[in-house]
Amino acid sequence: MLLEEPAAGTPGSDQALRLESVTKHYVSPGGSVTALDDVSLALDRGSFTAVMGPSGSGKSTLLQCAAGLDSPSSGRVFVDGVEMSGGTEAQLTKFRRGRIGFVFQHFNLMPTLTVLQNTTLPLRLAGRRVDRARAVATLDRVGLGERLDHLPSQLSGGQQQRVAIARALVTRPRVVFADEPTGALDTRSAREVLALLQEAVRIDGRTLVMVTHDPVAAAHADQVLFLADGGLVGRLAEPTAAVVADTMTRLTEQVSGRRVSEGV
């Protein structure tokens, strides 16, 4: 239930995110698709996990279900030990705003709001007091303390993504979900963004889940989870870009080989 807090010290209370047998079917005119098939996982607080897999393997669906943006067909999702179900849509939204942060590939900043206004927006939406000093400190952390009154259009892509990171962190969320956060950036900006995400984990103890196609980005995580055909098929601790790239190549070959033999 959304409103029940777990008691400290109960089993699993050090987990920031837990999925129990999560399955998601989509019904479309062509028939039913199983986008996630019985996925279970548990992520500790203060961990950084990358999620990889061939196109269509269920990465976006996993992120959507884990973040409470979509509901599983079956199975359960717990954030910070609290199950994300059983409440109204309004309660779910409030829960998400309090505990979850998002970083998207294309930044998703409000074009008419300044850097500072974009950063404080989640606090305003959550009805929380807007602590200007905290927002400015967060923007200082991402190197944009001098750009408070700029509009997104006056910033580079890398700078816009850094605003988006400040916006995701300002509420001090338990879990941050990042969907291809470096996908639209040049190599140098990508490196800066990954360093900031790592800092949020190492220094602030945030828990980060990042979907990425990029083995170099994935190598910044503590572990990589590999998805294929809606299921978890592998886990790599202390990943290096080379081993991640090899694993992805093998997985993609296996999946396309299977599709050819199945006549897909």
Minimum distance, C-beta of residue 51 to ligand ADP, in the bound complex (Å): 9
Q: What is the C-alpha to C-alpha distance for residues 142 and 166, in angstroms, rounded to an integer?
A: 7
Task: Choose between 10 and 28: whose C-beta lies nearer to ligand ADP.
Answer: 28
Please identify, among the stretches 26-34, 77-85, 93-101, 255-263, the one whose residues bind ligand ADP according to the rule CB under 6 A. Answer: 26-34
Task: Choose between 60 and 93: whose C-beta lies nearer to ligand ADP.
Answer: 60
The answer to whether residue 33 forms part of the interface with ligand ADP (CB under 6 A) is yes
Interface residue with ligand ADP, options 6, 14, 26, 37 (CB under 6 A): 26
Q: Among residue numbers 198 through 227, which ones bind ligand ADP (CB under 6 A)?
A: none
Minimum distance, C-beta of residue 166 to ligand ADP, in the bound complex (Å): 26
Minimum distance, C-beta of residue 157 to ligand ADP, in the bound complex (Å): 22
DSSP-derived secondary structure for 66-124: HTTSS--SEEEEEETTEES-SS-HHHHHHHHHHHEEEE-TT----TTS-HHHHHHHHHH
Task: Choose between 55 and 153: whose C-beta lies nearer to ligand ADP.
Answer: 55
The answer to whether residue 96 forms part of the interface with ligand ADP (CB under 6 A) is no
State the burial class of residue 54 (Cβ atoms within 10 Å of its Cβ: 0-12, 13-18, 19+): buried
Is the separation of the CB atoms in 32 and 225 below 8 Å? Answer: no
Token representation of residue 35: 């986008």
Task: Choose between 10 and 55: whose C-beta lies nearer to ligand ADP.
Answer: 55
Task: Choose between 207 and 212: whose C-beta lies nearer to ligand ADP.
Answer: 212
| Phi-psi sector, 28: left (phi>0), alpha (psi -120 to 50), beta | beta
Torsion over CA: 197, 200, 202, 203 (sign) = positive
Task: Choose between 52 and 116: whose C-beta lies nearer to ligand ADP.
Answer: 52
Is the separation of the CB atoms in 115 and 91 below 8 Å? Answer: no
Interface residue with ligand ADP, options 10, 28, 88, 153 (CB under 6 A): 28
The answer to whether residue 35 forms part of the interface with ligand ADP (CB under 6 A) is yes
Q: What is the C-alpha to C-alpha distance for residues 12 and 78, in angstroms, rounded to an integer?
A: 10
- Among 200, 203, 204, CA closest to 181: 200
- Among 55, 50, 56, 51, CA closest to 26: 56
Count residues contacting ligand ADP (CB under 6 A)? 12
Each residue 37-76 as x (binds ligand ADP by CB under 6 A) or -, in order, gives ----------------x-xxxxxxx---------------
Q: What is the C-alpha to C-alpha distance for residues 117 and 122, in angstroms, rounded to an integer?
A: 10
**Binding interface with ligand ADP (CB under 6 A):** 26, 28, 33, 35, 53, 55-61
